[in-house]
Structure 1
Amino acid sequence: MPWDHGALPEPVTPESEGMDSERLSLVDGYLQGYVDQEKLAGSSFAVMRRGRLVYYNAFGHARRETEQPMAADTIHRIYSMSKPITSVALLTLYEQGKFQLDDPIEKYLPEFAEMRVLTGGSAAQPVTRHATASITPRHIMTHTAGLTYGFEGVPHAVDEIYRYRKIGNDKQTLAEFTEALGKAPLRFDPGTSWNYSYGTDVQGRLIEALSGMRFDDYLQSTLFDPLGMVDTSFTVAADKADRLANNYTRPRGPLELFEDATDSPYLRQRVFKSGGGGLTSTLPDYMRFGQMLANKGELDGARVLGRKTVEYATSNHLPGGADMEAMGAGGFAESAFRGVGFCLIGSVCIDPVAAPNMQSLGDYGWGGAAGTRFWVDPQEDLMCVFMTQFMPGGRYPVQEYLRHLVLQSIVD
């Protein structure tokens, strides 16, 4: 069945793919409820089973102020849903034999040689020692490198150092970013714990070093063009600007603008191409990316990764098969910790009973700060994408309940 670029695939009845329409329609009331209660301005959701579109609907507004409806082609800031895209791009270089997962990363990025770990002191006067191991590509792909993000409000001295030195600011090139990162101490020895971090942005710089291309050019030629992701980019083009959604928040009750689409930084070129959180995309574009993964690396005749690579990459890569909770994970993440490991693309369910919401063994995916989420369930041959624009996205358990509503509708 043909699938035009930038559009949704042709829908089929849920019954034709072993799902119950009436059960699946519960999604409508659930998502409309968030709009009616003014918790979200709008959202859209799509479910693919066995490569066929069995559910799609959009709710509410992309821009409430002008009553612009949410649509399939609405452009969203996908924030950390950029991460799986970057990791897949790096895996294409892994397939070419450009690196091994456990290589010392200083082999390719010498600025990470002689890393040190914070042991005490303060951000102004840190006490450090030499790290017991080198950072590796596997570490930066699983957030176990000892790096962090420098989020506001995080009191750890290393996060304070990131903030003071403005590591990851929009005016840095990726090379300048990793140079600055290499001079900051680590929070822990590589491979000994889990902490959400700039690791995926380091992947972007590693892609440049290995490919000899600019990171954004590599994404375009290796993923976006072959997969027909026509609306995915770091900058929203002028002729598409009217499709960018507003981003909302709710600090005092009513929804308020967090970022006005008409004056968004995403309308302007930024030097820092953040593979960890800088892309914009649409529901159909991300569906094409997700379905490529669900198809074990191929979509519409374009093969991005080999079948075995996808299976290997979506296995748990945390040491000893641990879940994130056992790795000492804490603070912010786009996933639960218990019963959930980390693969080379995102989180992966390793214990469905221990995990806090119903999901299949091997279910993997990731989300973004404004509430977007995608997941692939290989056991049930499902691929789902949810889009919205609300900060912080983790305030509501939308994604968890959507999983329940999708899985309870399977009847074959």
Structure 2
Amino acid sequence: MNMMVSRRALMGGMALAGAGALLPRAALAWKVDGAALYPATDAFIKGFVDRRELAGTLAAIGKGQEAPLFFGAGVQSNDSATPVGPDTLWRLYSMTKPVTGIAAMLLIEDGKMKLDQPIADFLPAFANMKVQNVPDGSITDVRPAKGPITVRQLLTHTAGLGYNIIQKGPIKKAYDDNGIAGGQASRLPIPGFAPVTPAPSLAVMADRLAALPLVYEPGTKWSYSISLDLMGRLIEVVSGQPFDAFLKARLFDPLGMTSTGFMVAAKDVPRFTSNYAPFGGALIPFDPAASSIYLDRPPYPMGGGGLVSSARDYDRFLAMLLGEGETGGVRVMKRETARLAMSNLLADSVDRKGTFIDGQGFGAGGRVSLPTSPGGEGIFGWAGAAGTIGFVHRGLGYRVGGYTQIMPPDAVPFQGKFGETFFKDVTG
């Protein structure tokens, strides 16, 4: 396997449901034994470290509003003896999207915007959008959009927007040239990726995005996109606060998420992971903790893929979701708002064939399972480009997180098989 981090590596969130021959064996990390309650999950996550395929792995599982159980194996970085644990910091990438989606739902609850309101009411540059006549084709062969982009469509990847990690041809180049990026990977150049200088602010990113054509007609097709990053700008305008400040005030501070943000402070580097790519039978740290790109303040807070967090912090977010807006005696949103956010917000007419959510629904920034979905109804969550995964299962009453750092995430089946392994433990 070569060093190239494929474009699929940054798609993130694709899955809810042998590169280690030269990797030195990592030490057992977390002292809590998960084997008693979750034997399949425990064996699954430890196996990747035992086989020297991953540096460190961690599971965080909570039942109802009970305290979470953390268990795992390995170290934060292969050049460190520091074991992973509940306060280790991980790059969430697209696990940021549900956080942004829930933040938008707070403004809907506040009555400051409506679910089916055109975003042009707040961002006038999006009033008269054009659509490519051929998706990923010419960016000058366009037609007027048949309808406006709405808040619902931004939440659910149905606005018709593109993604520079998904699109091809002229529209991808236009996104790259305009710095319309949903995440950062490394200070180092990465083979297979064009160098992209992100726009200097959310406002500039949004204005540049508005000047480009849509890939699809709004409201017609589910297409993974930059929409949750644009939602960050919408939140700024509607709330009158910087996007990151809004998240801190309305979600992170009330929930006690003190380890979550868009950069890693110098004092927190000792608990930050390194991010790896498989190469020649070993794991190469292409974003080492000590010199990570996350040590710098990003050009703008990326609502689609920019957060760093700990398993303990993200579990608090999931506990709030499972508690339908409340956890630990703190209510951050109304019960009905939380239920709406975790419901299927897609119309039956939305084309989702062949996509990450084929046969499933989508809510406020995360996949929603349907009665016919694997695992049954009641699952809400998403995953990240460096191998992390987080979801709640409202039917079974669990909140679940899986953590590691490898790109692309499908280099090993940690993310892809984590959910189904957990279900073996709780459903038999």
**Residue 229 (structure 1) shift:** 0.2
Q: Percent identity?
A: 35
**Rounded Cα–Cα distance in structure 1 between residues aligned with 2:250 and 2:300:** 20
Q: Does 1:341 align with 2:361?
A: yes
**Rounded Cα–Cα distance in structure 1 between residues aligned with 2:358 and 2:144:** 31
**Rounded Cα–Cα distance in structure 1 between residues aligned with 2:68 and 2:294:** 32
Q: Does 1:379 align with 2:374?
A: no
Mean Cα displacement is larger for which, 86-95 or 169-178?
169-178
Q: CA, structure 1 residues 410+100, in 2 after alignment: closer, same or farther (shift >3 Å)?
A: same
Instruction: Indicate conservation of the 8 Å contact 1:123/1:161, yes or no.
Output: no
Report SS of the residue matched to 1:28.
Answer: helix
Q: What is the RMSD computed on CA atoms of the aligned residues?
A: 2.2
Instruction: Indicate conservation of the 8 Å contact 1:192/1:327, yes or no.
Output: no
**Rounded Cα–Cα distance in structure 2 between residues aligned with 1:278 and 1:118:** 28
Instruction: Indicate conservation of the 8 Å contact 1:347/1:364, yes or no.
Output: yes
Q: Does 1:136 align with 2:150?
A: yes
Quote the residue 1:17 is aligned against: none
Instruction: Return the match for 2:378 from 362, 377, 390.
Output: 362
State how many pairs are aligned: 382
**Residue 122 (structure 1) shift:** 7.9
Higher relative CO (Cα under 8 Å, sequence separation at least 6) belongs to: 2
Instruction: Return the match for 2:90 from 71, 76, 79.
Output: 76
Residue by residue over 1:272-302, the C-alpha shift from the partner in whole angstroms, topping out at 9 and shown as x without a partner, is 1101111110000000000000000011122
Amino acid at match of 1:203: M
**Residue 167 (structure 1) shift:** 2.0
Residue by residue over 1:140-191, the C-alpha shift from the partner in whole angstroms, topping out at 9 and shown as x without a partner, is 1000111111128x42432232123332343421100000000011001100
TM-score calculated relative to the size of structure 2? 0.84
Residue by residue over 1:336-369, the C-alpha shift from the partner in whole angstroms, topping out at 9 and shown as x without a partner, is 43332111130011144xx4xx412121100110
Quote the residue 1:174 is aligned against: 202
Q: CA, structure 1 residues 91+117, in 2 after alignment: closer, same or farther (shift >3 Å)?
A: same
**Residue 398 (structure 1) shift:** 2.3
Amino acid at match of 2:178: R
Q: Does 1:192 align with 2:220?
A: yes
The ranges of structure 1 where at least 4 consecutive aligned residues each deviate by more than 6 angstroms after the TM superposition are 121-124
Quote the residue 1:256 is aligned against: 284
Q: Does 1:155 align with 2:168?
A: yes
Q: CA, structure 1 residues 251+194, in 2 after alignment: closer, same or farther (shift >3 Å)?
A: farther
Q: Which sections of structure 2, spanning at least 5 residues, go unmatched?
A: 1-31, 182-196
Quote the residue 1:220 is aligned against: 248
Q: Does 1:392 align with 2:415?
A: no
Quote the residue 2:48 is aligned against: 34
Quote the residue 2:111 is aligned against: 97
Report SS of the residue matched to 1:409.
Answer: helix
**Rounded Cα–Cα distance in structure 1 between residues aligned with 2:134 and 2:69:** 53
Residue by residue over 1:94-130, the C-alpha shift from the partner in whole angstroms, topping out at 9 and shown as x without a partner, is 0011111111110010111110001149877621110
Q: Please show how residues 9-48 of structure 1 align to structure 2 within 5 Å.
A: 22=36, 24-48=38-62
Report SS of the residue matched to 2:390.
Answer: strand
Amino acid at match of 1:256: I
**Residue 50 (structure 1) shift:** 1.9
Quote the residue 1:247 is aligned against: 275
**Rounded Cα–Cα distance in structure 2 between residues aligned with 1:230 and 1:107:** 34
Q: Which sections of structure 1, spanning at least 5 residues, go unmatched?
A: 1-10, 15-20, 331-335
Report SS of the residue matched to 1:46.
Answer: strand
TM-score calculated relative to the size of structure 1? 0.87
Residue by residue over 1:260-283, the C-alpha shift from the partner in whole angstroms, topping out at 9 and shown as x without a partner, is 111111111122110111111000
Residue by residue over 1:298-353, the C-alpha shift from the partner in whole angstroms, topping out at 9 and shown as x without a partner, is 1112211111111111111112276xxx42454xxxxx43332111130011144x
